[in-house]
């Protein structure tokens, strides 16, 4: 085989193996759908409140200013009275007191800035992640997560959701595991283990054993609002951008009609 051909072959194999790896990694986790609606101010306000209360303690949202929350229909005094904990001015950024070094020292990993997390992770991932914490005595925080194995973040919403424990069921074939996954409505993942005749498919799901202050449906709603807010925060201008887009198109249509009329006027005597 000549060198060019073998390089091509190697490249092709590399691409194929990446494709196979991402298939294997993504194939077993089917994320729950987050029914978000960035046009719903009540949900966004509730989400902003949860975000400030439960997340800003560790994560910053340094691209976001508090006064941008006016776009959600909140007044400055509402923002000041209900949402300002970590700073004192409505015009301040959603920054936090914790430094990256502290975060790293406390959790092993510095909690990332969440300003645009919804763009990198996607709403469905966030929605599933925040509902996939379970108790795990072997982890430093006492928590683990079904979509983010060995995550360094503790389950900060546990008093709302309650505490869940992991349940693992073993199947001999992928088909059986999938069938069981389809039957249960709760979120679950499937992972392969072992080789050849010892190959097993593990279906991991969670069972709440200490209920929280919210019902499961209410908790899902709270998380949905929170994710809705994070999606809005990642691109606060999206609503106004749509409005501007419509206005621009209307303007162009009017302009088109006017130029056409003008064109007829100019040419009417020339024939
Ligand atoms: C007690 C501190 C703490 C609080 C409070 C906290 N987190 Fe975290 N969070 C972390 C740490 C630490 C990580 C890094 C985890 C890792 O990489 O293993 C993290 C990671 C994340 C990630 C994954 C980022 C990524 O893509 O790698 C998301 C999303 C997230 N947090 C969302 C939230 C939300 C939403 C809240 C509020 C409900 C919240 N966090 C509250 C500490 C915290």
Q: What is the mean pLDDT of each run of 10 residues along the chain (271 residues)?
A: 70 63 54 92 94 90 86 87 74 80 85 92 96 95 94 95 95 92 86 89 93 95 97 86 91 96 90 66
* 121 C-beta closer than 6 A to ligand 1: yes
Nearest CA to 235 out of 124, 118, 95 is that of 118
Tokens of 76: 């400055």
Of ligand 1's listed atoms, the one at least distance from the Cα of 227 is: 35
Q: Which of 49, 59, 136, 234 to mutate to test the pocket of ligand 1 (most atoms within 8 A of CB)?
A: 59
- Domain 28-261: state its class: mainly alpha
Question: pTM for the whole thing?
Answer: 0.81
**Residue 236 alpha carbon to ligand 1 centre in Å:** 21
Of ligand 1's listed atoms, the one at least distance from the Cα of 156 is: 5
The structural domains of the chain, with segments of one domain joined by +, span 28-261
Q: What is the pLDDT of residue 4?
A: 67
Spell out a b/e string for 170-195, using b for 16 or more CB atoms within 10 Å of the CB, else e. Answer: ebeeeeebbebbeeeeebbbbeeeee
- The residues, ordered by sequence, that sit 6+ positions from 266 with a Cβ below 8 Å of its Cβ are none
**Residue 172 alpha carbon to ligand 1 centre in Å:** 35
**Residue 59 alpha carbon to ligand 1 centre in Å:** 7
């Amino acid at each position: 085989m000549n060198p060019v051909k073998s390089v091509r072959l190697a490249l092709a194999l590399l691409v194929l193996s990446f494709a196979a790896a991402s298939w294997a990694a993504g194939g077993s986790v089917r994320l729950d759908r987050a029914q978000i609606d960035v046009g719903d101010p009540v949900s966004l306000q509730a989400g902003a409140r949860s975000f400030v209360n439960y997340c800003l303690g560790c994560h910053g949202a340094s691209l976001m200013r508090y006064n941008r929350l006016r776009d959600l229909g909140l007044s400055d005094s509402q923002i000041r009275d209900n949402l300002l904990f970590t700073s004192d001015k409505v015009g301040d950024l959603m920054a936090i007191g914790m430094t990256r070094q502290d975060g790293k020292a406390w959790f092993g990993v510095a909690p990332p800035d969440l300003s645009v997390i919804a763009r990198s992770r996607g709403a469905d991932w966030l929605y599933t992640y925040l509902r996939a914490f379970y108790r795990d005595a072997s982890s430093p925080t006492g928590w683990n997560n079904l979509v983010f194995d060995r995550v360094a973040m503790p389950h900060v919403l546990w008093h709302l959701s309650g505490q869940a424990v992991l349940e693992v069921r073993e199947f001999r074939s992928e088909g059986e595991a999938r069938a069981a996954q389809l039957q249960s409505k709760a979120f679950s993942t499937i992972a392969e283990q072992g080789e050849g005749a010892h190959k097993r498919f593990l279906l991991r799901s969670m069972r709440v054993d200490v209920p929280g202050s919210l019902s499961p449906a209410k908790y899902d709603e709270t998380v949905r609002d929170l994710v809705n807010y994070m999606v809005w925060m990642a691109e606060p201008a999206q609503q106004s951008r749509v409005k501007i887009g419509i206005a621009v198109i209307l303007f162009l249509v009017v302009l088109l009609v006017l130029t056409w009329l003008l064109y007829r006027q100019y040419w009417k005597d020339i024939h």
